[in-house]
Chain A
Amino acid sequence: MTAVAERPYGRAGGGPRRGPLSGSGLTLLLPALVPVLLFSVGPLVYGILLAFTDARSGRNTETSFVGLANFVELLSDGDFWESFRIGMVWGLSVTVLQFLASLGLALLLNQDLRLRGVARVLAVVPWAMPPVVVGLMWRLVYHPDAGLLNGLFGSDVDWLHDFSLALPAVIVVGVWTGMPQTTVVLLAGLQNVPRELYEAVSVDGAGAWRRFWNVTLPQLRPVIVAITSLDFVWNINQFSLVYVLTQGGPGGRTRLPMLFAYEEAFRYGFFGYAATLGVAITIVVLAVLGLYLWRQAQEGN
């Protein structure tokens, strides 16, 4: 804190403290500021404002300010809560499974294996694929007649259209898609664990499990917290993958909150309500994330 406060006085010239946006400073900032304001802040503010209106699709519609009416409607909207529940199940299970699978993979890739370089490259391949391509590919895997999965098991299951199987099936794809970046980040974390620590516990006679539990995990902790939080935000906002796989079906069983908002806006034309959904989901995600990070910080201390 003090270091930050002292900095202006340490400058050459030592004149009176100048505001951050005066004169030439502002001019220099403009080229960077304009695109940010135009393409990021602008639409964001517009979206938030929309949430408080009854904006609808149409050439002859009048939009008026409705205050918190949309939020009140949201609270009693059973479809929203169902979609929210599905979103949470999806977000949490994909994040947790992704983390566990990636941790295993990262530990494996951290070993002195033959062809380690090749294996590492292969692990990153799904990262290079756009979600739409991943969705199309897995749709073929799940295809009831021509699919790889039914071919392999000799089963006759319509994975993506079965009421109880659709969500788990989509979750598997979600885990698969998100594994590369989680693995890479964890692998980087693993390589930063000082070797001396392992040597020290080995001297104390610790086995592989103890080494993992008492050295690797605590050392990885900051990385784990960071990547799981990021993964959670990313997963709960997932859209394209599920849109391609199921379009939210069957009967809304995979209708994630973002798909719900999309339907409200682009299928039924309620732009205002859809914006409210967006704002509400952002608030909830921030709240969940805040709680998680706060608890992690507490335990860390």
Chain B
Amino acid sequence: MKRLGAALAVAAVALTAAACGSGGGDGGDGGGASGEPVKLRFLSLAWQKESIEANKQIVADWNTANPNIQVEYVQGSWDNVNDQLVTSFEAGDPPDVIHDDSPALSSFASRGFLLDLTGKVPADLQNDIPQAAWDTVTFSDGKSGQGVYGVPFLQESQVLIANKKLLDDTGVRMPTPDSPWTWDEFADVSKKLTKKGAYGVAWPMKSPVNKVLNLALNFGGTFFDTKDGKTTVKVGPQEREVLQRIHDQLYADKSADPAALGMGTADPLPGFFAGKYAIVPAGVYLRQQVAEQAPGGFEWVTLPPLKGQTSQQGAVSQTLSVAADSKHPDEALKFIAYFLNGPNQAKLAKGDWLLPTSTSAAKDPALTTEENGWDVATASAKDLVVAPFLKVNGFDEWKSKVATPAMQEYFADKISLDELATRLVEEGNKVLERYSR
């Protein structure tokens, strides 16, 4: 009680301060026209060293070329960006340009905090990014319409990172983007790679939900069903495929190490380098840490995504959005259009070891080289489709309260697949109901 009270008081003070600040800062009304440069704040979530450098460099270039629109780089963090944004949105003083990812945009869009960019994005940028990527940022506006609430720029796909020597020793077929492993083949290979003290695969499942939901599309599993505007959770045979297959590797085939379950994505790397795990499924960005930390002489390869009925994976994009409360939305869009042009997206993608949405950036030679698996990673972008959960209002709460603990227990073999399905659906629907009121 006291805390909320205090928070509200702080918000009130912040509001007053913001009102005073904007009154004084503009130096009289129409400050922009009288030659004062427009000031934009850009909240960036870049965290890898190369990526922060690329971000700052692009901002600096812009500021030099545009003395009338000065952009201030504000460093944020993925850990708490959404809490931070809620408070700054509520206080009416958000950053003008906001870096976030598409799962977060849905709820901000429906609450009216973000500017609808429909028809405002310059044609060059609009055409450089394929429709599949725009779909990841198209959401309901909380009333009856739809809008585009961000510009998608970096995407992630799930690939396999493998110890080349162990694969060669076993003599398994090397998959290629045109002929990837199927899940069955993957299960076989993992068994062959499992020897005394060494496992074929390590599934780091500290945050299992997005991983499972994105891979489930391999078998057409969507996990959500929307009828007449009402969304419910569904866990049918298609959704169960990937869950069951991973579980089998852990407990039936014993080709996956149960001790890796509690790990975050990067945690299996020491075991991977030591030859304890032959294959680590991971997002393409993990290649950066592998390349940087691998001991001398260690040979590794990036293998293309697995194939179920299809190779489709749910795509989540990093995005740049404009706050609805921004006083200079047009200038903010101009900055975004520059920041995300082909050459800059190539720089950002290289900095974060992710895939650019820009089709011209994807042709950059640095992103198609065989070195560090860039060719395989970039090729996997073609199978990215919009993840169904992106459009679900209340997904974040479903994920943290219901799905994460339930999936962790399932993978730890504490509950059965049926129990998992029941929990995901029953408890899940209760959560989603709060958002449809």
Interface residues, chain A, with chain B CB atoms under 8 Å away: 39, 42-44, 46-48, 50, 54, 56-61, 79, 158, 161-162, 237, 239, 250-252, 258, 261-263, 265-271, 274-275, 278-279, 281-282
Contacts and interface: CB of A to CB of B under 8 A. Distances in A.
A267 B396 contact: yes
Interface string B1-36: 111111111001000000000000000000000000
A161 B207 CA distance: 12
Contacts of B400: 252, 263, 267
A58 B92 CA distance: 11
- From A60, A261, A271, A274, residue with most partner B Cβ within 10 Å: A60
Contacts of B83: 266-267
B87 interface: yes
B401 A265 contact: no
B1 A48 contact: yes
15 contacts: A44-B5, A50-B4, A54-B437, A57-B90, A58-B110, A60-B112, A60-B143, A158-B262, A237-B3, A239-B3, A251-B405, A251-B408, A267-B86, A267-B400, A279-B1
A137 B394 CA distance: 34
A161 B405 contact: no
Contacts of A50: 4
Given A47-B4, A57-B89, A266-B87, 17 more contacts: A39-B9, A43-B6, A54-B437, A59-B89, A59-B112, A61-B111, A79-B401, A251-B404, A266-B83, A267-B82, A268-B397, A269-B107, A270-B434, A271-B4, A274-B4, A278-B1, A278-B3
A162 B259 CA distance: 12
Contacts of B1: 44, 47-48, 275, 278-279, 281-282
Contacts of A262: 3
Interface in B393-409: 394, 396-397, 400-401, 404-405, 408
Interface of B: 1-9, 12, 82-83, 86-87, 89-90, 107, 110-113, 142-143, 206, 262, 324, 394, 396-397, 400-401, 404-405, 408, 434, 437
Contact of A278 (B4, B82, B113, B142): B4
B142 A60 contact: yes
Contact of B324 (A59, A258, A266, A275): A59
A111 to B, nearest CB: 39
Contacts of A57: 86, 89-90, 111
Contact of B3 (A162, A252, A258): A258
A281 B405 CA distance: 25
A79 B423 CA distance: 14
Contacts of B5: 43-44, 46-47, 278
Contacts of A46: 5, 8
A116 to B, nearest CB: 38
Contacts of A281: 1
Contacts of B405: 251-252
Contacts of A278: 1-5
Nearest to A273: B434
Contacts of A61: 111
A266 B4 CA distance: 10
A43 B9 CA distance: 6
